[in-house]
Amino acid sequence: MKGKKGRIKTQQARKFRKNPTETEKIMWDLLRDRQLANKKFRRQHLVSGFIIDFYCPENKLAIEIDGSVHLNKKEYDQEREKILKNIGINFLRFSNQDVLKEPKKVLLRIKEQLNPSPFPMEKGVKEKQ
């Protein structure tokens, strides 16, 4: 994305990185420095004009942590996800509560998406639909 609109989105992503929510801080501490499946994640990453909470470019995996701000943005989130899926990006969505109460299960679900197994996942946290 180029031009003024692109610069504004880049500045907005930078602002989000500098002021993460408590849940985003927790998630970043779990994903940073290739801690999960030796995969590199970026936070508040800009893809096709959309800011994604966490993104693994190697696997084209977007991870969204949905807090109260998303309650009023469901249609926007659905449309954004649809557009990004059309360019090959896979999505996982988790609630703040999932991250706060069951971070190990969240990580297990992400790891499963990064390294698909022929065996089904144990019952636990599922991504939000």
Question: Residue ranges of the domains in the chain?
Answer: 3-114
Asked whether 52 and 73 are in contact (CB, 8 A), the reply is no
Q: What is the pLDDT along the chain (129 residues), one digit of tens a residue?
A: 567 777 888 898 999 999 999 999 999 999 999 999 999 999 999 999 999 999 999 999 999 998 866 566 788 889 999 999 999 999 999 999 999 999 999 999 999 999 876 665 555 555 555
- H-helix segments, 1-129: 3-18, 22-31, 74-86, 96-101, 103-114
**103: its two tokens:** 């971070």
Q: CA 38 to CA 41: how far, in whole Å?
A: 10
Asked whether 127 and 49 are in contact (CB, 8 A), the reply is no
As its CATH architecture, domain 3-114 has 3-Layer(aba) Sandwich (3.40)
Asked whether 128 and 92 are in contact (CB, 8 A), the reply is no
